[in-house]
Amino acid sequence: MKNIPKGFTIIEVMIAAAVSTIIMFGAFTILRVSNSQLEVIHARMTLQEGPREALFKMAQEIRQTAWHKIDTLALADAAGVERAATINFVVPVPAPDAASLVDANFTPKWAHNIRYQLDTTTRQIIRISTDLTTNGQKQAILANEITSLEFSRKTSTPGLITIKASAQRVLPDGRTVPNEPIQMSVQAEARNP
């Protein structure tokens, strides 16, 4: 009878270990890359939500004011367009009682001064509301990850405000998503007299 060795030789074990290590390293690399890509995709999907809601909210409030209650944005350029990074305007009393909306001369009662601006250090759109009767102020953050904010209007149509915002997220590892900021815009027309 021949003596048949049982088990694996040391060389076979080392080859199996090397192959297993290469396979495991490849699998972990694929998982790491796919996790990174998933993070980028998720950031892109959620990046537009906040700024879109903020633009909608700003447009909604601008529609409540009168065109002459919007402060001059800036000196008009050669094309007759005023541009600024902030906007100030006054909104009327938000009361359901029709008698409290106008004074004895049927002029609307203006209740709150609203200011929208971009805080460049925190990259947030800030809403500051000042109650005109008590001078109390309230501040709210409308959106994050904002790289630019611009309000503009033509001098020929002073009640039509265009709001433009750009958004871009910086991931913890320093990558920016997307590479170029997302541009969003909305127009709002001041409707009150």
Structure-block tokens of residue 12: 């076979």
Give, in order, the Cα–Cα distances in Å from 52 to each of 12, 17, 43, 58, 107. Answer: 61, 53, 15, 10, 33
The amino acid present at 88, given as its one-letter code, is N
User: If pLDDT is split at 50, 70 and 90, which confidence band does 88 have?
Assistant: very high
Share of the chain above pLDDT 90, in %: 49
This prediction has a pTM of 0.76
Q: Is the peptide bond before 178 cis (omega within 30 degrees of 0)?
A: yes
Buried b (16+ CB within 10 A) or exposed e, 124-136: bbbbebbeeeeee
User: If pLDDT is split at 50, 70 and 90, which confidence band does 5 have?
Assistant: low
Q: In this structure, are strands 146-154 and 81-84 parallel, antiparallel, or unpaired?
A: antiparallel
Q: In whole angstroms, what is the distance from residue 63 CA to residue 161 CA?
A: 9
Over range 89-96, report the average pLDDT. 74
pLDDT tens track for 138-185: 999 999 999 999 999 998 988 899 999 999 988 888 888 888 999 999
User: If pLDDT is split at 50, 70 and 90, which confidence band does 115 have?
Assistant: very high
The amino acid present at 20, given as its one-letter code, is S
Report whether pLDDT(81) > 70: yes
